[in-house]
């Protein structure tokens, strides 16, 4: 399976993504500079964390208007797995590939520590290797991770089982303790915690590697076993 790691000016978690896929997972990965991108030959797309365009205007706002997003929207509509982590999640929200918005953390402070999460939906292509309601530990590193949506959107997220991860102890004020959501089709996941930084036990947790394994196993079931 071949992953594209999209790099924007200001991305700083792209190497974390790359090595999680290449070294921990043993799959193919390429860095894809946003201006030179051709995503047609990739099986999954990863939007890493960082500070794309210096977080000017709003986190993810400028990156969401770049030309590569047209390709990402096309791939999303084609069912390609797309994972946005931290700033990548913010980009997906700004591009309206996922509903809602990010606000400053409730305490107006940057947070960087390990956080407990609950797997609320293990029936997605990103979470099938987890148990239902499994508790995992992933690191967070953000200043604007306070997920917000209106009441109608929140009810839709609940009704459609789009809330994938919630915090055990909400660190940032996110509505409903939300840490990660998927689109209605289930192939676009945005999350604030960093699974790529928990891909090996030496990092303090290897709970994140199951997310990448889920992507690969579901892809193989769909495209290899069915071939």
The overall longest dimension of the chain from CA atoms, in Å, is 51
* CA distance readout (Å), 131 to 57, 135, 136, 147, 207: 39, 9, 10, 24, 12
Catalytic, out of 75, 94, 129, 196: 196
Q: Which residues contact 92 (CB under 8 A, 6 or more apart)?
A: 47, 60, 82, 84, 98, 188, 190
Residue 112 is among the residues annotated as catalytic for this protein: no
Residue 86 is among the residues annotated as catalytic for this protein: yes
DSSP 53: G
Q: Which residues contact 226 (CB under 8 A, 6 or more apart)?
A: none
The whole-angstrom separation of Cα 134 and Cα 170 is: 17
Q: Within 10 A of 40 (CB to CB), how many other CB atoms are there?
A: 11
Residue 194 is among the residues annotated as catalytic for this protein: yes
Catalytic, out of 75, 86, 142, 149: 86
Phi-psi region of 146 (alpha: psi -120 to 50; beta: other; left: phi over 0): beta
Catalytic, out of 94, 142, 144, 194: 194
Name the residues annotated as catalytic: 86, 194, 196
């Amino acid at each position: 399976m071949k992953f594209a790691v999209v790099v924007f000016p200001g991305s700083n978690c792209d190497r974390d993504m790359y090595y999680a896929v290449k070294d921990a997972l043993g799959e193919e990965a390429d860095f894809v500079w946003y201006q030179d991108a051709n995503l047609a030959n990739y099986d999954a797309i990863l939007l890493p964390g960082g500070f794309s365009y210096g977080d000017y205007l709003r986190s993810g706002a400028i990156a969401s208007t770049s030309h590569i997003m047209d390709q990402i929207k096309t791939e999303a509509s084609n069912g390609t797995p797309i994972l946005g982590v931290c700033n990548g999640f913010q980009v997906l929200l700004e591009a309206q590939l996922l509903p809602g918005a990010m606000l400053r953390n409730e305490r107006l402070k940057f947070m960087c520590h390990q956080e407990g999460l609950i797997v609320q939906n293990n029936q997605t292509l990103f979470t099938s290797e987890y148990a239902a309601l499994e508790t995992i530990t992933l690191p967070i590193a953000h200043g604007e991770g306070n997920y917000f949506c209106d009441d109608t959107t929140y009810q839709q997220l609940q009704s459609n089982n789009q809330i994938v991860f919630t915090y055990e102890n909400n660190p940032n004020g996110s509505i409903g303790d939300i840490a990660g959501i998927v689109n209605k089709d289930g192939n676009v996941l945005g999350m604030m915690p960093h699974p790529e930084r928990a891909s090996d036990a030496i990092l303090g947790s290897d709970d994140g590697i199951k997310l990448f394994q889920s992507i690969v196993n579901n892809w193989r079931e769909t495209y290899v076993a069915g071939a």
